[in-house]
Amino acid sequence: MGLDITWAVDWVRRSADVIAEHRVELIKLDREIGDGDHGENMDRGFQAVLPKLDDLPAGSTPGDVLKLVATTLISTVGGAAGPLYGTAYLKGAVAAGSATSLDGSAIAAVLTAARDGIVLRGKAESGDKTMVDAWTPAAEAADAAASNGSDVAAVLGAAADAAATGSDATIPLVARKGRASYLGERSAGHRDPGAQSSALLLRAAAEAASAAAGA
Amino acid sequence: MAAADRVGVVFVSHSARIAEGLVELARQMAPLARLVAAGGTDDGRIGTSFDLVNAGIAEADAGAGVVILCDLGSAILTAETALDFLDDETRARVRIVDAPLVEGGVAAAVAAEAGDGLDEVVAAAESARAPAGGAGATETGVDAASVAAPPTKAAPHATHTRQVTLINADGLHARPAAELVKLASTFGQRVTVNGTDAKSLLGIMSLGLTKGATIVIASDDPDGREAVDAIAALAESGFGEH
């Protein structure tokens, strides 16, 4: 069973909910090592996507939803997260193509393309204490799960688990990219807000997939 | 030269006021250049806006190209994303330059004002990468400018030389320095002022010439006499300040 437009729309709604719910936490994380606007910016971006979901034309694909998220985040987020997430969703949309349903391998390809987009845009590597530290293990876990023949909900579950572990692993790191890098050694001991929001968004994707499988 | 033919410059900052201030500052030395501020978010907060940068590129682009200068991290990311969305033909003439926003922006604006091509305007902005002041800035300015200019060495025996005493009360400050660079840029020949490329604004400004200083204008180009004489005449006139 693959994931269709219903899953994609549900993922965006769950994303908006989880970002709103964790808005203050993300602001707090960003205030510790950045400029403190990550929670507010992400919340504004996803809230701006919500009304647009209702205007999607009939016959839209999961790729169309990802593209809508991309262009909206790029235009509304304002901080570095706008171009970074915008590029991630855009590259993910290209990988999804015009398919009406995405199986485990297709989802793994979407996550890998999204990760590549973030790396391309931000030029960060693993261990730089950025979103990449959540996305790279997530894309790798999704790829491994899909190769083992796991169903699509399990593929996204593996990605979400790996992203959460990756977010935890940013805590001791010294930032080498982004605003936090200005703090040098003082950035160690704090969780990266971008890695955390990435983990939240991938968890929302997995939950939407579980809900779709149970439906 | 009409403004329509000039390279445009877009200032991308997290702050609308920084971007607007830079346009105001650069406009003093480059009144006719296409200078566009793209600072802050759509609703005036601190941040950068994809839509404002996109519109800024469109406004600055008259077909001769656009140079974009950015401040902190996400300004560069937003500008790069905006480039991704341009059609291939437009993207080919838009460059994001890694240079200090103020110094690079002013140098780019002056080069654009003088009617330089895209590569020269980029080189002018990049010449600001060296530490401010001192020999390093001067040397880098010369090096960056010579990328565009013919690779002639600074000649120990200049073919044409004029010596002028600087009469401006405030020395060779930003405006007269820009006048000098603009005039020098209208000539194809390489001209130096006290050994520094006369087409490099940052090089000329970093000479730190004060009133009473001796200016040696020289060219090792056989056809450089006209350029040397024109710059000498401009200096003797006090750059229009007297």
Q: What is the pLDDT of residues A121-148, one digit of tens each?
A: 999 999 999 999 999 999 999 999 999 9
pLDDT in tens, B226-242: 999 999 999 999 998 76
pLDDT surpasses 70 at B154? no
Q: Which of A74, A80, A86 sits opposite B73 (nearest CB)?
A: A80
Per-residue pLDDT at B131: 53
- Angle subtended at Cα B10 by Cα A86 and Cα A130, rounded to the nearest 5 degrees: 35
Shortest Cα distance, chain A CAs vs residue B42, angstroms: 8
| Domains, chain B, ordered by start | 3-129 (3.40.50.510), 160-236 (3.30.1340.10)
pLDDT surpasses 80 at B152? no
pLDDT surpasses 90 at B143? no
pLDDT in tens, A165-212: 999 999 999 999 888 898 989 999 999 999 999 999 999 999 999 999
Q: What percent of chain A has pLDDT over 90?
A: 89
Shortest Cα distance, chain B CAs vs residue A76, angstroms: 7
Confidence of residue B151 (pLDDT cuts 50, 70, 90): very low
Give the ipTM: 0.75
- Out of B14, B160, B173, B242, the active site residue is B14
Token output for A117: 């987009």
Mapping DSSP to helix (H, G, I), strand (E, B) and coil, where does residue B72 land? coil
Specify if A164 maps to a domain. yes
pLDDT in tens, A64-122: 999 999 999 998 998 889 999 999 999 999 999 999 999 999 999 999 999 999 999 99
Q: Which of A76, A87, A179 sits opposite B81 (nearest CB)?
A: A87
| Cβ-count burial B129-141 (b if 16+ within 10 Å, e if not) | bbeeeeeebbebb
What contacts 24+ positions apart, CB below 8 Å, involve A147-152? Answer: A149/A104, A150/A104, A151/A1, A151/A104, A151/A213, A152/A1, A152/A2, A152/A3, A152/A102, A152/A103, A152/A104, A152/A107, A152/A209, A152/A213
pLDDT in tens, A7-22: 999 999 999 999 999 9
Q: Which amino acid is it at B187? A: F
pLDDT surpasses 50 at B150? no
pLDDT surpasses 70 at B120? yes
Q: Return the biggest CA–CA distance within chain A.
A: 52
> Measuring CA to CA, which residue among B89, B93, B115 is closest to residue B1?
B115
Start-end of H helices in B61-200 = 73-84, 88-91, 101-113, 118-126, 134-148, 174-185
H or E stretch covering A53: helix A38-53
Please state, in angstroms and rounded to a whole number, the distance separating the CA atoms of residues B60 and B10: 7
Which domain CATH number covers A54? 1.25.40.340
Confidence of residue B3 (pLDDT cuts 50, 70, 90): low
DSSP state of B49: -
CB contact under 8 A, A80 and B84: no
Interface subset of A 174-203, CB within 8 angstroms of B:
178-179
Specify if A193 maps to a domain. yes
Can you give the residue range of the structural domain that contains A129? 5-209
Q: Which of B45, B78, B84 sits opposite A82 (nearest CB)?
A: B78
Shortest Cα distance, chain B CAs vs residue A119, angstroms: 12
H or E stretch covering B34: strand B34-39
Active site residue B14: yes
Render B17-33 in DSSP notation, one character per residue. HHHHHHHHHHHHH-TTS
Please state, in angstroms and rounded to a whole number, the distance separating the CA atoms of residues A48 and B235: 58
User: Based on the structure, what is the number of domains in chain A?
Assistant: 1
Confidence of residue B121 (pLDDT cuts 50, 70, 90): very high
Per-residue pLDDT at B128: 85
Please state, in angstroms and rounded to a whole number, the distance separating the CA atoms of residues A92 and A178: 23
Per-residue pLDDT at B70: 96
CB contact A37 to B (< 8 Å):
yes
pLDDT surpasses 70 at B64? yes
Torsion angle of C-alpha atoms B199, B205, B211, B217, degrees rounded to 10: -20
Please state, in angstroms and rounded to a whole number, the distance separating the CA atoms of residues A202 and B75: 26
Per-residue pLDDT at A206: 98
pLDDT surpasses 70 at B147? no
> A106: left (phi > 0), else alpha (psi -120 to 50), else beta?
alpha
> Measuring CA to CA, which residue among A23, A7, A20 is closest to residue A206?
A7
pLDDT in tens, B23-41: 999 998 888 899 999 999 9
Average pLDDT, chain B: 86
Contact B68, B57 (CB under 8 A): yes
pLDDT surpasses 50 at B134? no
CB contact under 8 A, A86 and B48: no
> B171: left (phi > 0), else alpha (psi -120 to 50), else beta?
left
Specify if A73 maps to a domain. yes
pLDDT surpasses 50 at A25? yes
Identify all chain A residues contacting B81, using CB atoms and an 8 Å cutoff.
74, 82-83, 86-87, 121
Please state, in angstroms and rounded to a whole number, the distance separating the CA atoms of residues B214 and B162: 10
Over range B180-185, report the average pLDDT: 91
